[in-house]
Amino acid sequence: MAEFTMELSDEQKEVRDWIHGFAADVMRPAAAEWDEREETPWPVIQEAAKIGLYSLDFYAQQFFDPTGLGIPMAMEELFWGDAGIGLSIVGTGLAAVGVLANGTEEQIGTWIPQMYGDAADVKVAAFCSSEPDAGSDVSAMRTRAVYDEAKDEWVLNGTKTWATNGGIANVHVVVAVVDPDLGPKGHASFIVPPKTPGLSQGQKFKKHGIRASHTAEVVLEDVRIPGHCLLGGKEKLDERLARARERARNPGGERLKNAAMATFEASRPAVGAQAVGIARAAYEVALDYAKDRVQFGRPIIDNQGVAFQLADMRTQIDAARLLVWRASWMATAGKPFTSAEGSMSKLFAGETAKKVTAQAMQILGGNGYTREYPVERMHRDSSIYTIFEGTSEIQRLVIARTVAGVPIR
Ligand SMILES: Cc1cc2nc3c(=O)[nH]c(=O)nc-3n(C[C@H](O)[C@H](O)[C@H](O)COP(=O)(O)OP(=O)(O)OC[C@H]3O[C@@H](n4cnc5c(N)ncnc54)[C@H](O)[C@@H]3O)c2cc1C
């Protein structure tokens, strides 16, 4: 039996330090500028592509780390560097995972390279699921995909919102309703290839945080895409729909495992790891400041009121990381998430990041409230971690229903 250890291997430490170097030397110095510009930091993404940090290969290598810690480690370091730029670098991965999870080998080989482009001409991709009336409640989705058999084309109509990289992406992955009677089981995912007529960017949002990451509406008006752009293919979709219709007719029958929920449980720790990175960054700034700043003739860290805050911050960050690592290890080891451990990690890490960055601002006093210091940006950035990829309330709902043994929906 393998010996239990929480020590990273030399190889893992090497990768972590390499990412940390990029985060410290390239991302940190650029963070304030791109936050103010509220634009996608293309030059930084290009730098990441040049060294192989912005590529499917890199994420695939981390994904296949047998301990499960490759992805959370990479996420923590990148988001320690800066969350807005970090999301610009990893946002494409959300769309790529959509293709990896549902696409055929041919679709994976065709579309994922076009999502990343190459170092000379970097591209990004977008994953478009949320809609104005369908956020937490995915079953309220209205974007329709209708099959035109004569032309072997799908026709998409609807409005997506909150899409990271929406409208500026080379490739959009769009989730749409193919059978409105089946709720979420009647949804399917489609590739919208580059420059497809009918897809346009709607409003670009001016946000509170992660401002270097582009977030926009995506409008789909009679968007015609070839039949082969349905992820997984028509045959598989028809089989899946037939099974769902059968279950709808026979609700007492055997419940199939909810594959989408299992995927969320496995992907949520990666988002939690991003929040851990932001929290750690703010904590480090606050610790240094508390040691340097003198009031009443002594460093402010000599006051128990400040020191205890730092102790709590550090404890919560470490606890969040441990929950993230546990869930990531479980996903890699194929352990069932019997207590929604993936949701637990995202919930705790997101809430911790928001709390710790607020405490960091308090420890920096007036300076913490200014843009001269990075903690106010980190606090703004952290706030999204209780909202996207499932709000904190939805995580609690999933955990509560899982531990109670009742269906999640
Ligand atoms: C910056 C940013 C980037 C994003 N990127 C993407 C992306 O790339 N692709 C994509 O598809 N989506 C993306 N999203 C969308 C994001 O996932 C949604 O905003 C999120 O799921 C919440 O949906 P909503 O905003 O409609 O809030 P709502 O669902 O309207 O929720 C509003 C409030 O009600 C609460 N609530 C809702 N239902 C319940 C319930 N049953 N019990 C208790 N409380 C409840 C929520 O927790 C929340 O506090 C992004 C969002 C943002 C802000």
Q: What is the CA radius of gyration of the chain?
A: 22
Residue 130 CA, ligand 1 centroid: distance in Å: 8
Which of the residues 153, 372, 389, 393 is marked catalytic?
389
Q: Residue 190 in contact with residue 146, Cβ under 8 Å? A: no
- DSSP label at residue 1: -
| β strands within 73-143, DSSP E | 117-118, 121-122, 125-128
User: Is residue 389 among the annotated active site residues?
Assistant: yes
Tokens 């606890």 -> residue = 319
Burial of 87 (0-12, 13-18, 19+ CB in 10 A): buried
Tokens 């971690």 -> residue = 385
Predicted confidence at residue 256, as pLDDT, reads: 46
Q: Residue 75 in contact with residue 277, Cβ under 8 Å? A: yes
DSSP characters over 180-225: GGGGGGGEEEEEE-TT-TTEEEEEEPP-SS-TTS-EEEEEEEEEEE
The helix/strand/coil state of 153 is strand
pLDDT of residue 305 exceeding 70 = yes
Q: Residue 80 in contact with residue 281, Cβ under 8 Å? A: yes
pLDDT of residue 253 exceeding 60 = no
Nearest Cα to Cα of residue 269 among 174, 224, 335, 172:
335
Q: Quick count: other Cβ atoms within 10 Å of Cβ 94?
A: 21
CA-CA distance, 289 to 400, in Å (whole number)?
Answer: 40
Pocket of ligand 1 (CB under 6 A): 94, 127-130, 135-136, 162-164, 207, 210, 215, 384, 387-389, 391, 393-394, 397
Q: Which atom of ligand 1 has the smallest separation from the CA of 205?
A: 1
Predicted confidence at residue 4, as pLDDT, reads: 83
Single-letter code of the amino acid located at 178: V
Over the stretch 37-65, which tens digit does the pLDDT of each residue have? 999 999 999 999 999 999 989 988 998 99
pLDDT of residue 262 exceeding 80 = no
Pocket test for ligand 1, best of 142, 391, 396 (most atoms within 8 A of CB): 391
What percent of the chain has pLDDT above 70?
97
* Host H or E run for residue 263: helix 259-292
Choose between 387 and 250: higher pLDDT.
387
Average pLDDT over residues 186-191: 96
Q: Residue 216 in contact with residue 203, Cβ under 8 Å? A: yes
Single-letter code of the amino acid located at 214: H
Which protein residue's CA is at the shortest distance from atom 36 of ligand 1?
393
Burial 366-389 (b: 16+ CB within 10 A, else e): eebeeeebbbbbbbbbbbbbbbbb
For residue 27, CA distances in Å to 58, 122, 196, 237 come to 18, 17, 33, 42
Low-confidence winner among 245-254, 311-320, 339-348 (lowest mean pLDDT):
245-254
Which protein residue's CA is at the shortest distance from atom 4 of ligand 1?
162
Predicted confidence at residue 226, as pLDDT, reads: 98
Nearest Cα to Cα of residue 323 among 354, 344, 353:
344
Over the stretch 191-205, which tens digit does the pLDDT of each residue have? 999 999 999 999 999
Predicted confidence at residue 250, as pLDDT, reads: 76
Both tokens assigned to 136 = 């937490």
